[in-house]
Structure 1
Amino acid sequence: MDRREFLHKSAAGAMVFALPTIPDLYKDAGMGIVVHSYASRWNSKTPSKNYPGFTNALDLLDHCRQLGAGGIQTVVNGWSTDFARNVRAKREQLGLYLEGSIGLPKKADDVARFEQEVKNASEAGAQVLRAVCSSGRRYETYHSVDEFKQLTQNALSSLRLAEPVVRQYKVKLAVENHKDWRANELVTLLKQINSEWIGVTLDFGNSISLLEDPMTVAQTLSPYVFTTHIKDMGVDEYPDGFLLSEVPLGQGILDLPAMIALCKKHNPSVTFNLEMITRDPLEIPCLKNEYWSTFADVPATDLVRTLRMVRQHKAKNPLPRVAQLSSEERLAEENENIVACLSYSKNKIGMK
């Protein structure tokens, strides 16, 4: 069942729209790179001959073209019209696609800022803008069901302010499962907006932190997918729950070929953007009472399944850690991980 058929058969209580008709200029492009993959190098204050910092999208485009990536997903705030035109010229020269990462309007007087950023991103050639609705991880930022309900109301308000703008500029807005929404919650949010221009940035690994099975998340969200954050994940135990870490593609627990195929089935023009964040493992404290403060109806079976998965598939070697590294060593590790992921994408999963 393709996305149009899915939406047609799910008309009762579901979004009833078809994918926006936007030319698929980079349908067969190789895997792109999310700016957050360069957490150490982006706007780096560390002088480095081997890994000089990137200060803007032009630097990132040049670098990613040298690596053989298909495109980039980068922040678009603060761009001038002239800079957007320069980005378009550079992107067209290099033959790369561009996606933006944008902040949603929080209230009516923020719409003008949002519209200018959408306009600039569109001028630069972006057809998709990734967005998030929360300021942090659910289990760290929100401390009650009421607080999370308020997040939901704020998200609805923001997306309703954003929708007329992206519809006007014919740019797709893709909300990420950003360690905030469980998959069914994000679908409910999208159904309330009910717009062909608002869909999903499907992050392959984030929702493990919310005790969700990654393949189930992909099955739930792929009918709405516009773009992706492709990554692989390693896991291990720790006293208060489990550790979760991005690892180079092919070294983790995710069934990447199956997840990629599912996304392509529902949206043949979907893009795959590497988000390989080189950092210490995240602690997911799912055995502490505080973790559960926003979850009203998550079944115990989800916790049991997740902890069983961690025990069965925990990393054979310690998960990577970088806090002890020098700045230069961290830059080198970051670069090595990204290059390894691009090599895997070309040689193992058939992306250019």
Structure 2
Amino acid sequence: MTIGLSTYAFFWQWHPTSPEPIDLADMIDRTADLGATLFQICDYPLVEEYDAAALRALRTRAERRDVELELGTRGVAPDHLARYLDLARALDVTLVRSMLTTDRDNAVSALRQALPAFEKAGVTVALETYEKVPTATLVDVVVAVDSPALGICLDPANCVAALEHPTDTVEKTAPWVRNIHVKDFAFTRKDGWVGFTLAGCPLGEGLLDYPAMVAAVRPAEHGVNQVIEHWLPWQGDSRTTRDLENHWTATNLDTLRSWNQ
């Protein structure tokens, strides 16, 4: 089991709102400087445009900084997954997180077509829990495909928007979890007490029942990596948001490490 960071830990710094966006090499360096040894390139479509030389340079950068890479995308169309398998081979990646963007039957068909190549390459596809797909359906897809190269990326916060309790999400998915996105979250009242906002918060200050999640999944026993993400709301300007994002990243790493000692 390894603790690492995601592109979502630097979201506002590579986002177009940043006056000086950082790139993947910068994020790898930031990850290494914080003492983390895993970086997940997740929902960062620019990596799909990298040519062979750029991919070699990125892999070399990660190797020199002792940072393992993972990938993340959306969709399970065979041609799209094949492209990410090519990227995985080029970057020495063994896990690709994805998300279902089609119905159950089409997903099963597409994954059965795509996964033999992943099995041969020793690369796992981990489908993330999120509000667009009921957790029971996601599990059903994984069970139906029945491939050693297919599992689940657990993020219990995502399913709250579909009125699924995080504990239920954890319990339903635990046997198939191959990757964990660790982010805390909380509800706050909106102005005038009209409705709520569900957003991120520093790890340990919100509703994530981390001990229960770890007890169910047992990541250390099963070699499941834990990747820190944030749901950090925009703070009104780029500098303030960047500074708070960096603070959350450093403190959340410290918190997660202390919990796993």
Instruction: Please indicate, yes or no, whether the TM-score normalized by the shorter chain is above 0.5.
Output: yes
- The structure-2 alpha-carbon separation of the partners of 1:255 and 1:114, relative to structure 1 and needing over 3 Å to count, comes to closer
Aligned partners of 2:49, 2:6: CA distance in 1, in Å?
Answer: 18
Aligned partner of 1:198 in structure 2 is: 150
| Residue 114 of structure 2 is aligned to residue 162 of structure 1 | yes
Q: List aligned pairs for 1:256-267, cutoff 5 A.
A: 256-264=210-218
Q: Secondary structure at the match of 1:272?
A: strand
- Which whole-Å CA distance do the structure 2 matches of 1:170 and 1:187 have between them? 21
Q: Does structure 1 residue 345 correspond to structure 2 residue 232?
A: no
How many angstroms apart in 1 are the aligned matches of 2:125 and 2:220? Answer: 17
Which of the residues 22, 30, 33 maps onto 1:54? 22
Report the counterpart of residue 227 of structure 2 in structure 1: 273
Report the secondary structure of 1:158's partner residue: helix
1:100 pairs, out of 71, 74, 88, with 71
- Cα offset for 1:36? 1.9
TM-score, scaled relative to structure 2: 0.87
Q: 1:264 to 1:79 in 2, by over 3 A?
A: farther
Greater helix share, 1 or 2? Answer: 2
Distance 1:169 1:240, change over 3 A: farther
Seen in structure 2, the aligned counterparts of structure 1 residues 158 and 237 have a Cα distance that, compared at 3 Å, is: farther
| Deviations, residues 47-101 of structure 1 (Å, cap 9, x unaligned) | 3xxxx53222x22111111122231110442232233322332222222221101
Counterparts of 1:342 and 1:186 in 2: how far apart (Å)? 29
Q: Is the 8 A contact 1:204 1:232 kept in 2?
A: no
1:91 aligns with 2:59: no
Distance 1:158 1:256 in 2: 33
Residues 50-129 of structure 1 aligned to structure 2 (within 5 Å): 53-56=21-24, 58-74=25-41, 75=44, 76-106=47-77, 111=79, 114-129=81-96
After superposition, where does 1:169-318 map in structure 2 within 5 Å?
Answer: 169-236=121-188, 242-264=196-218, 268-279=222-233
Q: Which letter maps to 1:251?
A: E
Give me the identity figure in percent. 24
Aligned CA distance change for structure 1 residues 236 and 326 (closer, same or farther; 3 Å): closer
User: Could you report, residue by residue, the CA deviation over 1:272-318 in whole angstroms, capped at 9, with x for unpaired residues?
Assistant: 00111212xxxxxxxxxxxxxxxxxxxxxxxxxxxxxxxxxxxxxxx
Structure 1 residue 237: deviation in Å? Answer: 5.1
Does the aligned pair in 2 maintain the 1:223–1:266 contact within 8 Å?
Answer: no
| Coordinate RMSD, CA, aligned | 2.4
Confirm or deny: 8 A CA contact 1:222 1:263 kept in the other structure.
Answer: yes
Structure 1-normalised TM-score?
0.66
**Structure 2 CA distance for partners of 1:346 and 1:266, relative to 1, 3 Å:** closer
Structure 2 gaps of 5+ residues are none
Which one has a bigger Cα radius of gyration?
A: 1
Q: Name the stretch that deviates more: 76-85 or 228-237.
A: 76-85
Residue 104 of structure 1: how far off its partner (Å): 3.4
- Return 5+ residue gaps in structure 1 as ranges: 1-26, 135-149, 280-321
What letter matches 1:121 in structure 2? A
Q: Is the 8 A contact 2:185 2:201 kept in 1?
A: yes
Given that 1:184 and 1:220 are in contact with CA atoms closer than 8 Å, whether structure 2 keeps it comes out as yes
CA shift for structure 1 position 330: 1.5
Distance 1:133 1:217, change over 3 A: same
In the comparison of the two structures, how many residue pairs are matched? Answer: 255
- Structure 2 SS opposite 1:98: strand
CA distance in 2: counterparts of 1:120 and 1:234, whole angstroms: 35
Say which SS state the counterpart of residue 117 (structure 2) adopts: helix
- The Cα of 1:45 is off from its aligned counterpart by 5.2
- Partners of 1:330 and 1:266 lie apart in 2 by 33
